[in-house]
Structure 1
Amino acid sequence: MAGDDLLGGGDAEQEADIERARIAHGLIAGVSGLSPSDVPHALCRSCATLLPAASGLSASMLADGSDMGVVLFASDDVAARLAEIQYTLGEGPCREAVRLRAPVFGTDLSRERRRWPLYSVQAVKAGVRAAFSLPLMGAGSALGTLDLYRETPGALSRGDIRTALLVADAVTLAVIALDHASPHPDGVVTWLAGAESDREEVHQATGMIMVQLGVSASEALLRLRARAFAQGRTSTDVARAVIDRSLDLGAD
Structure 2
Amino acid sequence: MEDDGRSDGAPDGLAEERWRVAYALADGIRGIPAEGVPAKLCEMCLRLLPVTGMSLSVQAAGPGMETLLCTSDKVAAQLAEIQYTLGEGPRLRATTLRAPVFAADLLRGPEVSRWPVFASQALRVGAQAVFSVPLGGPVTPLGTMDMYRREPGSLSPRDVRVALFAADAIYAAIRTLGRRSTQEPEEGVACLQGAETDRDEVHQATGMIMVLLAVGPEEALARLRARAFVQGRTATEVAHDIVNRTLDITEHD
Q: TM-score range by the shorter chain?
A: 0.7 to 0.9
Structure 2: 5+ residue stretches without partners: 1-6
Q: Counterparts of 1:240 and 1:28 in 2: how far apart (Å)?
A: 37
The residue aligned with 1:217 is 217
The residue aligned with 1:92 is 89
Structure 2 counterparts to residues 152-167 of structure 1, below 5 A: 152-167=151-166
Alpha carbons of structure 1 residues 58 and 159: separation in structure 2 relative to 1, 3 Å:
same
Q: Which amino acid aligns with 1:231?
A: Q
Given candidates 21, 35, 40, the residue that maps to 2:38 is 40
Deviation readout 1:155-179 (Å, 9 max, x if unpaired):
1222222211211111111111222
The residue aligned with 1:3 is none
C-alpha contact (below 8 Å) 1:127/1:151 kept by paired residues: yes
The residue aligned with 2:129 is 130
The residue aligned with 2:142 is 143
Q: Secondary structure at the match of 2:112?
A: coil
Q: Secondary structure at the match of 1:45?
A: helix
Q: Counterparts of 2:139 and 2:184 in 1: how far apart (Å)?
A: 25
C-alpha contact (below 8 Å) 1:109/1:130 kept by paired residues: yes
Q: Which amino acid aligns with 1:103?
A: P
Deviation readout 1:160-217 (Å, 9 max, x if unpaired):
22211211111111111222222367xx733211111233321210111223334333
The residue aligned with 2:175 is 176
Q: Secondary structure at the match of 1:118?
A: helix
Q: Counterparts of 2:22 and 2:75 in 1: how far apart (Å)?
A: 26
Q: Counterparts of 2:63 and 2:94 in 1: how far apart (Å)?
A: 15
Q: Secondary structure at the match of 1:156?
A: coil
Q: Counterparts of 2:95 and 2:11 in 1: how far apart (Å)?
A: 24
Q: Counterparts of 2:221 and 2:23 in 1: how far apart (Å)?
A: 39
Q: Secondary structure at the match of 1:109?
A: coil
Deviation at 1:86, TM superposition (A): 1.4
TM-score of the superposed pair, with normalisation by structure 1: 0.85
The residue aligned with 1:103 is 100
Q: Counterparts of 2:169 and 2:207 in 1: how far apart (Å)?
A: 36
Bigger mean CA deviation after superposition, 31-40 or 76-85: 31-40
Q: Counterparts of 1:36 and 1:88 in 2: how far apart (Å)?
A: 29
Structure 2 counterparts to residues 15-54 of structure 1, below 5 A: 15-51=13-49, 53-54=50-51
Alpha carbons of structure 1 residues 181 and 19: separation in structure 2 relative to 1, 3 Å:
farther
Q: Which amino acid aligns with 1:46?
A: M
Q: Counterparts of 1:42 and 1:202 in 2: how far apart (Å)?
A: 27
Deviation readout 1:27-83 (Å, 9 max, x if unpaired):
2343344333322222221111122x1011111111365422211111111111112
Deviation at 1:247, TM superposition (A): 1.9
Q: Counterparts of 1:202 and 1:115 in 2: how far apart (Å)?
A: 26
C-alpha contact (below 8 Å) 1:101/1:137 kept by paired residues: no
% of aligned pairs identical? 51
Structure 1: 4+ residue segments shifted above 4 A: none
Structure 2 counterparts to residues 3-14 of structure 1, below 5 A: 12-14=10-12
Q: Counterparts of 2:30 and 2:61 in 1: how far apart (Å)?
A: 26
Q: Counterparts of 1:64 and 1:13 in 2: how far apart (Å)?
A: 38
The residue aligned with 2:3 is none
Deviation at 1:229, TM superposition (A): 2.1
Aligned residues: 242
Q: Counterparts of 1:181 and 1:251 in 2: how far apart (Å)?
A: 46
Q: Which amino acid aligns with 1:205?
A: A
TM-score of the superposed pair, with normalisation by structure 2: 0.85
